[in-house]
Amino acid sequence: SQQGEEDPQALSIQEGENATMNCSYKTSINNLQWYRQNSGRGLVHLILIRSNEREKHSGRLRVTLDTSKKSSSLLITASRAADTASYFCATGNNQGGKLIFGQGTELSVKP
Amino acid sequence: DVKVTQSSRYLVKRTGEKVFLECVQDMDHENMFWYRQDPGLGLRLIYFSYDVKMKEKGDIPEGYSVSREKKERFSLILESASTSQTSMYLCASSSPGVGDTQYFGPGTRLTVL
């Protein structure tokens, strides 16, 4: 079942620019997570924000969560070519560890 | 560091063959998951397991089965492989109480001819 939907589907920027990706979801959640996937590899967890949090930072990552709008955004500041990857949001609602993943945003950072 | 390993990175099989995909995690996680990933469809949950010998169907279990005889190992079985099962298969594990954060293996790209 589809829960998170990322926007845009693809994003191309220059090194040094900021990249913003958005995620919308449909049902109530306990937490929302962002993952990164390099081409042809597994997903790597980036950051988790709980439903009672509004903003969270980790290095160059900033995540916001608006539960009234059922949406989240991931901001990557001062992007680097190495940030080129697909980024997925995933929602958890205490259903035994299950997460529901969106379809991802493909980010391309050009040197 | 959590490590999740999958038995093969690339696999080529013929239609009708029985296929085993193995996943092993080294962090004593209770939960394990199998997903398939296809372009435009994102990650879709095939099966998951909360504990040894426990299994639950995900969103697309048809044509698949699983086995979890030991806590660290979760196997995905394609009883009779079909070309529609050509995909990237991802295994993940997690532990309750850590926010459901999942740790993924590197993936197995399966091609069924």
Query: What are the beta bridge partners of residue A66?
Result: A71
E-state strands within A15-104? 19-24, 31-37, 43-50, 55-58, 61-66, 71-76, 85-92, 99-101
What would the two tokens of residue A73 be? 């955004």
* Neighbouring C-beta atoms of residue B29, cutoff 10 Å: 21
Kindly report the three-state secondary structure assignment for every residue of B41-80: CEEEEEEEECCCCCCEECCCCCCEEEEEEECCEEEEEECC
Question: Model confidence at A97, in pLDDT bands (50, 70, 90)?
Answer: confident
- pLDDT value of position A2: 43
Q: For residue B100, give the nearest of A42, A88, A92 by CB distance.
A: A92
Beta-carbon contacts of residue B38 (< 8 Å; ≥ 6 apart) = B44, B87, B88
Question: Model confidence at A3, in pLDDT bands (50, 70, 90)?
Answer: low
Nearest CA in chain B to A93: B100
Q: Tell me the percentage of chain A whose pLDDT exceeds 70.
A: 96
Cα–Cα distance for residue pair B84/B64, rounded to 1 Å: 12
State how far residue A8 is from chain B, nearest Cα, in angstroms: 13
Cα–Cα distance for residue pair B1/B27, rounded to 1 Å: 8
B103 CB neighbours in chain A (<8 A) are 45
Using the beta-carbon criterion (under 8 Å), do B40 and A102 form an inter-chain contact?
A: no
B48 CB neighbours in chain A (<8 A) are 96-98
pLDDT by residue, tens only, chain B of 113 residues = 669 999 999 999 999 999 999 999 999 999 999 999 998 888 999 999 999 989 999 999 999 999 999 999 999 999 999 999 999 999 999 988 666 899 999 999 999 99
